[in-house]
């Protein structure tokens, strides 16, 4: 019995913040918070997001990234996206995205939505 409680506690403690996201809520949050600078299929102030999960950071051809992000060597996964949205400058010093999301649930929702975006087809 005690062992079961310990296992449950560990499972909760190791449950990553981004795992409880809701993609539908995330789509709305994305449009409200990210839409001024980003879209899924077109570069704006920020690069397009199609296929962002699994994509190398700073790799959209023709987008004028900071050297810091282009040379970061990161490949976006949910855990890294959570750190990026929490504080991009802490993850990649010298980057150029002047925006962060303080609420962990909103980050989780947005990441759940980003995970649904297939790579762009040309």
Footprint (CB under 6 A) of ligand HEC, residues 23-82? 33-34, 36-38, 45-47, 52, 57-58, 60, 65-66, 68-69, 76, 81
Report the alpha-carbon distance of residue 12 to residue 25 in Å, rounded: 23
Cβ proximity to ligand HEC, 60 vs 112, nearer residue? 60
Site for ligand HEC contains 18 (CB under 6 A): no
70 burial level (CB within 10 Å; 0-12, 13-18, 19+): middle
* Residue 51 buriedness (CB in 10 A; 0-12 / 13-18 / 19+): middle
Q: How far is the CB of 76 from ligand HEC (least distance, A)?
A: 6
CB 117 within 8 A of CB 31: no
* Cβ-based nearer residue to ligand HEC, 10 or 35: 35
Residues found near ligand HEC in the complex (CB under 6 A): 33-34, 36-38, 45-47, 52, 57-58, 60, 65-66, 68-69, 76, 81, 84-85, 95-99, 101, 110
């Amino acid at each position: 019995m005690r062992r079961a409680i310990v296992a449950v506690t560990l499972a909760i403690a190791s449950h990553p913040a981004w795992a409880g996201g809701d993609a539908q809520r995330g789509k709305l949050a994305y449009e409200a918070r990210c839409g001024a600078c980003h879209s899924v299929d077109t570069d704006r102030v920020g690069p397009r997001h199609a296929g962002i999960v699994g994509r190398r950071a700073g790799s959209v051809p023709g987008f004028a990234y900071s050297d810091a992000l282009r040379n970061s060597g990161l490949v976006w996964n949910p855990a890294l996206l959570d750190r990026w949205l929490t504080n991009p400058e802490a993850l990649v010093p010298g980057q150029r995205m002047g925006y962060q999301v303080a609420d962990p649930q909103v980050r989780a929702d947005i990441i759940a939505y980003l995970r649904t975006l297939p790579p762009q087809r040309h």
